[in-house]
Amino acid sequence: MSESRPAKLALADGTVFTGTAFGAEGESFGEVVFNTSMTGYQEIITDPSYCGQIIVMTYPQIGNYGVNPEDVESGRPALKGFVCRELCEKPSNHRATHSLSSYLKENGVIGIQGIDTRALVRRLRSQGAMTGVLSTTDLDDESLIKKAQTSPELVGQDYVREVMPTECVGWTEPLSELARNTSGSPIPKAGSGKRPKVVAVDYGMKWNIPRHLVESGCEVDIVPGTATAEEILARNPDGVFLSNGPGDPRPLDYAINTIKELIDKKPIFGICLGQQLLGLAMGGEIFKLKFGHRGGNQPVLNKETGRVEVTSQNHGFAIDEKSLPDDVEVTHINLNDNTVSGIRHRTKPVFGVQYHPEASAGPHDSRYLFDRFLESMEQTSGQAAQ
C-alpha cells in the first residue's frame, strides 16, 4: 500500500468530502458528474467528452484490471478529476501495463478515493450536477467552498476547442481483434464496390468511432470541429459523421452553421454532441439536464421497432422535443426520463442519436446504426449516378 495522502472535494452547495488522494498532486475545478458503468473506467477517463468535468464512479471498486494502451479512446485524458469509493492499487489482468493511479499521475489527473460516493451521487441527483473543486494542496473547507462557488460553470463554455484535433488526418485503424471477437453481434460491412468515403467531424471524438467506420468498409478522413462546409465538401465525401464532444452545444455557432450548409448536400449521422448540434441546425432547441445521462446501462426505446436498446451514454444536455420542426421526427426515447434519444429528418438522409453506438465500453445493441449510415450513403450515391 502506498503512503496515504489527504485530498478533499468541495461542492458549490457547501458540501465537503474528505478522502485519500491518488494520481497527480494539485488542484482542479470542474462540473461534478457521476457515471453508473460497472466497467470501462479507462475508456471513460480517456473520453474527450469529459473535458471540464470531475467524474464520480458509482461502482464501488475501480482499478482492479489496471490500464493498457489498447483501450484508450483519445491521446490523453481531458477530465478534471476522478472520484471513486475504493481504488485497487494492485491490478490483476494480463493486459494491464499500468495501475490506474500511475496512469492518472502520468497524465496530471487528480484522483480521490475513500469517500461516500453513494452520498455524493444522491446529492448530485437531488441538487443537480454542480461545480466542485478537488485538491490535494488546499485542505481548508471554507477556502475550497469559496473556490467552488466562484469557479466558472460549464454552461456557456466552448470546450470543443480544447479537445479537437488541430489538423486533418486519414484514419485506417480497424477494431482490435479483442473487440471484434467479443462484439456479440456482426459488424456491418460495406459492399464489394467502391469504399464509401466518410468525413468525420471531430468535436472530441472517441477513437472507437473511426475504428467502427473503417471496420464497416469506409475510407475515413477526420477533420477538426471548426472545419467549414466548404472544407468538408472539398474532400468529396459520401457522408458526414458528427462526433461526440464535451460541454454545451449552444455556443458552438461555427459547428451549427457548418451543419446547416451540409444538410441539403450529404447524408449525415451524428451522435451525442453531434446529435445536439444537428438538432440545433435543424431548428430545435437545447436544455440542460439536471444530472445528465452517463453510463453503459441506459435504456432507450426504438420507436420504429418497439425494441428496447441498452446503450452507453455521456451527456448533460438534450434536445427539446417540442421545439423540433415538423420535418424532424423523434426516433428514440430515453426510458429513464422520456427525453429525446434519436432524431431524423423525414425527407433527407440525416439522423442522429444521443448515445454511443460504438460503445467502448458498453453494450452492442445499437451497432445497426452504422449499417443504416452505410445504406444512406449507398442510396444517395446510387441516386446521384442515375
pLDDT, mean of residues 132-151? 98
pLDDT band at 60 (very low <50, low <70, confident <90, very high): very high
Q: According to the model, what pLDDT value does residue 382 have?
A: 63
pLDDT band at 291 (very low <50, low <70, confident <90, very high): very high
Mean pLDDT of the chain: 94
User: Which CATH number does the domain 162-385 belong to among 3.20.20.140, 3.40.50.300, 3.40.50.880, 2.60.40.10?
Assistant: 3.40.50.880
**168 is a catalytic site residue:** no
Does the pLDDT value for residue 192 go beyond 60? no
Q: According to the model, what pLDDT value does residue 381 have?
A: 74
Question: 30: which residues sit within 8 A by CB, 6+ positions away?
Answer: 52, 53, 54, 79, 80, 81, 131, 132, 134, 154
Q: 317 forms bridges with which residues in the sheet?
A: 288
Which tops the pLDDT comparison, 161 or 179? 161
6-150, which class in CATH?
A: alpha beta
Q: According to the model, what pLDDT value does residue 334 have?
A: 98
**88 is a catalytic site residue:** no
Q: Which of 312, 348, 356, 310 is nearest to 329 (CA)?
A: 348
Q: According to the model, what pLDDT value does residue 188 have?
A: 52
Does the pLDDT value for residue 185 go beyond 70? no
Does the pLDDT value for residue 30 go beyond 70? yes
Catalytic residue among 219, 358, 364, 378: 358
d(CA 148, CA 130): 9
Task: Express as a percent the part of the chain with pLDDT over 70.
Answer: 95
pLDDT, mean of residues 280-309? 97
Angle between helices 273-281 and 253-262 (to 10 degrees): 70
Q: According to the model, what pLDDT value does residue 383 have?
A: 65
* Full-model pTM: 0.94
pLDDT band at 15 (very low <50, low <70, confident <90, very high): very high
pLDDT, mean of residues 346-374? 91
Catalytic residue among 332, 356, 364, 378: 356
Q: According to the model, what pLDDT value does residue 230 have?
A: 98
Instruction: Tell me if residue 87 falls in helix, strand or coil.
Output: strand
Q: According to the model, what pLDDT value does residue 21 have?
A: 98
Catalytic residue among 272, 293, 315, 378: 272
Q: According to the model, what pLDDT value does residue 365 have?
A: 86
Q: Report pLDDT digits (tens) over 312-328.
A: 999 999 999 999 999 99
Domain boundaries, given as residue ranges, for the chain: 6-150, 162-385
User: Cα torsion at 161, 162, 166, 171 (round to 10°)?
Assistant: -100
Q: According to the model, what pLDDT value does residue 40 have?
A: 94
Q: According to the model, what pLDDT value does residue 182 have?
A: 61
d(CA 360, CA 155): 27
**358 is a catalytic site residue:** yes
Q: Report pLDDT digits (tens) over 228-244.
A: 999 999 999 999 999 99
Does the pLDDT value for residue 2 go beyond 60? no
Q: Report pLDDT digits (tens) over 31-57.
A: 999 999 999 999 999 999 999 999 999
Q: According to the model, what pLDDT value does residue 336 have?
A: 96
Question: 53: which residues sit within 8 A by CB, 6+ positions away?
Answer: 30, 31, 32, 33, 79, 80, 154, 246
Q: According to the model, what pLDDT value does residue 194 have?
A: 78
pLDDT, mean of residues 298-307? 96
Which tops the pLDDT comparison, 193 or 102? 102
- Grid cell, residue 377, equals 450513403
